[in-house]
Structures are given as C-alpha cells and as structure tokens.
Amino acid sequence: MMDAQLRAVCFWIAAFAGLASVTSILFPPARLILLPGTIFVGATAVLLFVRMLFSRTYRRGVDAANREMQGNDPWPGRPKKFRDPDWGLFGSRTGGPALLWLRAVLFLGILPMGLLQSWIGMEVVRLWFASTFVAIELSLMHAALSQPR
C-alpha cells in the first residue's frame, strides 16, 4: 500500500513540476521558486531510482518486461515504434491514461524546451527534465508491476 501511495505522490510531483515550468515561462517572476523545486523533483527521481534498484520485485519486473519487449530478436533487437500498442508512447503496458498523457506531454516537450533554453532560462529546462525523468521512472515501475510473477 505504501508503494502505491509513493507512486501517486510522485505522479503529482511530476505533474506540478511540469506545470510550474510552463507557468514560469509565461510568468517570469515565478522562476524564483524553480531552483528549490528542481532540487526537490531531482530528489524524487533519485528516491524512485533507489526504490527500483533495491526492490527485488521491480528488478524482476523490469527484466521480464525487457525480455518481453525484445521477444525473439537478438540483442539489441529492433526498437519499438512510438505507435506500438503495448510499449509505445501510449502503450497499455506502461501506465494508466493519466500517466501516459503526462509522460507524453513531458517527453515531447523536451525538444522545444531544449531549443528555447537560452530564451526561457536553464532553470526551467532543468525542472522540465527532472519531471520527465520522474514520469519515465513511474512508467518503468508500472511496467514492472504489470508483469506476471
């Protein structure tokens, strides 16, 4: 139960961090809160990574998902397409609808944020990248938990 609450809190942290990034682009005085926010979201990403690293359930689930994604292809195999119904950007195996949309918006926003970094400021880009990393880790956790034991 505690793990589900951790994932839910981390989801909202990533969502609010993405929203704070966009808000700070539109309202520059809001950038004053971005540095502590970036450190907080970065710490959240580290917490999730350590949780996956030291949990046997997550490690086995990620290994099983990796084997399932590769199928019979030799390593490194053919990469999955973004439109793959199971493992793509909106794949059913990588999260619920809210997580899929959050991850898609954050992931697809990396390129515009990177291109505009000199105009919007590096603090905004760092916060966006940290929140994207949290969303991707949450998708990995979902994929690991959805694997048969």
d(C-alpha 56, C-alpha 36), whole Å: 32
Close Cβ partners of 41 (under 8 Å, ≥ 6 residues apart): 13, 14, 17, 127, 130, 131, 134
Residue 1 has pLDDT above 60, yes or no: no
pLDDT surpasses 90 at 10: yes
Band (pLDDT 50/70/90 cuts) for residue 66 is confident
Tens of pLDDT, residues 56-65: 988 888 888 8
What pLDDT shows up at residue 89?
74
Integer Cα distance of 61 and 55 in angstroms: 10
Q: For residue 21, what are its two tokens?
A: 């990034």
Q: How far apart are CA 73 and CA 57, in angstroms?
A: 25
Q: What is the pLDDT of residues 75-129, one digit of tens each?
A: 666 667 777 777 777 777 788 899 999 999 999 999 999 898 888 888 899 999 9
Q: Mean of the pLDDT values across residues 6-21?
A: 94
Residue 74: predicted pLDDT: 66
Give me the pLDDT at residue 106, please. Answer: 95
The pLDDT of residue 81:
74
Q: How far apart are CA 65 and CA 58, in angstroms?
A: 10
pLDDT tier at 35 (50, 70, 90 boundaries)?
confident
Give the pLDDT of residue 110. 93
Domain extents in the chain: 10-70+79-145
